[in-house]
Amino acid sequence: NEIRVFSPATVANVNCGFDVLGFALDGLGDEMVLRKVPQKGITITRIEGADLPYEAKENVVGVAGLAMIEALDLDFGFEIEIYKNIRLGSGVGSSAASAAGIVFGINQFLEKPLTNLELTAFGMKGEAVASGNEHADNVAPCIYGGFTLITGYEPLKIVSLPVPEELYVTIIHPHITIKTKEARAILPKEVSLQNAIKQTGNLAGLIAGLYEADYELIGNSTQDFLVEPYRKNLIPDFDFYKVTALKNGGLAFGISGSGPSMFTLSKGKENAGNVELALKEALKTKNMESDSYVSPV
Ligand code: HSE
């Protein structure tokens, strides 16, 4: 009568795929315990690791869970314990992990009547509470695992992409705050045709690189012409960290989601570890406190 769910951290955008591309981290994530109870709705009984509201309607977990309970017209409810390991606002999909975890967990109780696509749509409702916008580039990889591409929002369409075996990610989280809503508000509403062409080429190149397990192509295809030029100003010394990561074995470097975490893709664990050491040192020289994480993709 009890289910424990692991809900991974995720990197959204991956530079060239703003709002459409994302991948899950293997190892870092939140945990949630669900218990089926006769009373309807969601009752949050415990939250550890973050200061979040217990009131279901104000909590991402509650909002996503209630949306699903209502849509499926369930005549029972759930008690939830939430153990947050992903730091709030760190840029690796903390709210998405909450939203995805609850809908995935409820689905397990119901013996999986819903598809991953349907679960992602419910998860997006919760994500919208936190970020002010319904996007699925964190929720989708959290539910599907691996790399996911959203090929359409209306209607929602998602493709799972292959992940080359030796692809690793290094996450470095500088201890500054960036709000997703604000990081979206600074972006221009229009882009130039020239930049759209470059971005399209990169996104296609990255996807081809994933299918071919071509690490060089992956590394050459993640430049971001649309978002990074604006958002990097929110992270002091971003360019210095980028140069450091790429010089120390990284294939690609960028802002994870809306930041402030930054991700580096590397071939193999050793390179990913070298990048981690170099970046930690680089942040130290700028007196920036941080925490970091290395994981297979
Ligand atoms: N695609 C989103 C953004 C992810 O970059 O704003 C952050 O939640």
Q: pLDDT digit string (tens) for 219-258? A: 999 999 999 999 999 999 999 999 999 999 999 999 999 9
Indicate which residue of 120, 127, 148, 276 is catalytic: 127
pLDDT for position 180: 87
How remote is the CA of residue 193 from the centroid of ligand 1, in Å? Answer: 22
Instruction: Indicate if the pLDDT at residue 134 is higher than 80.
Output: no
Cα of 36 vs centre of ligand 1, distance in Å, is 32
Mean pLDDT over all residues of the chain? 95
Residue 19 has pLDDT above 80, yes or no: yes
Catalytic residue check, 177 = no
Evaluate whether 282 touches 275 at the Cβ level (below 8 Å): no
Number of neighbouring beta carbons within 10 Å of residue 33: 17
Q: Average the pLDDT over 38-59 and give the result.
A: 94
CA of 228 from ligand 1 middle (Å) equals 12
Contact call for residues 21 and 158 (beta carbons, < 8 A): no
What pLDDT digit, counting tens, does each position of 272-283 carry? 999 999 999 999
Tell me the percentage of the chain whose pLDDT exceeds 90: 92
Q: What is the pLDDT of residue 130?
A: 74
| Predicted pLDDT at 27 | 85
pLDDT of residue 133: 73
pLDDT at 178: 93
Residue 159 is predicted with a pLDDT of 98
- The CA-based diameter of the chain, rounded to the nearest angstrom, is 58
Q: Which of 120, 148, 170, 180 is catalytic?
A: 180
The pLDDT value recorded for residue 152 is 96
Residues 6+ positions from 211 with CB-CB distance below 8 Å: 161, 162
Distance 24 CA to ligand 1 centre (A): 14
Q: pLDDT value at position 256?
A: 98
Range in 32-41, 121-130, 172-181 with the lowest mean pLDDT: 121-130
pLDDT at 125 over 90: no
Our answer to whether residue 148 is catalytic in this structure is no
Residue 227 CA, closest ligand 1 atom number: 5
Nearest residue CA, atom 6 of ligand 1? 258
Compute how many other C-beta atoms are within 10 angstroms of the C-beta atom of residue 49: 15
Is residue 23 scored above 90 in pLDDT?
A: yes
pLDDT digits (tens, 9 = 90+) for 190-229: 999 999 999 999 999 999 999 999 999 999 999 999 999 9
> Using CA atoms, how far apart are residues 41 and 78, in angstroms rounded to an integer?
6
The whole-number pLDDT of residue 28 equals: 93
| Ligand 1 interacting residues, C-beta cut-off 6 A | 12-13, 18-19, 131, 135, 137-138, 180, 183-184, 257-258
As a whole number, mean pLDDT of residues 130-142 equals: 86
Instruction: Report percent pLDDT > 70 for the chain.
Output: 100
**How does residue 90 score in pLDDT terms, banded at 50, 70 and 90?**
very high
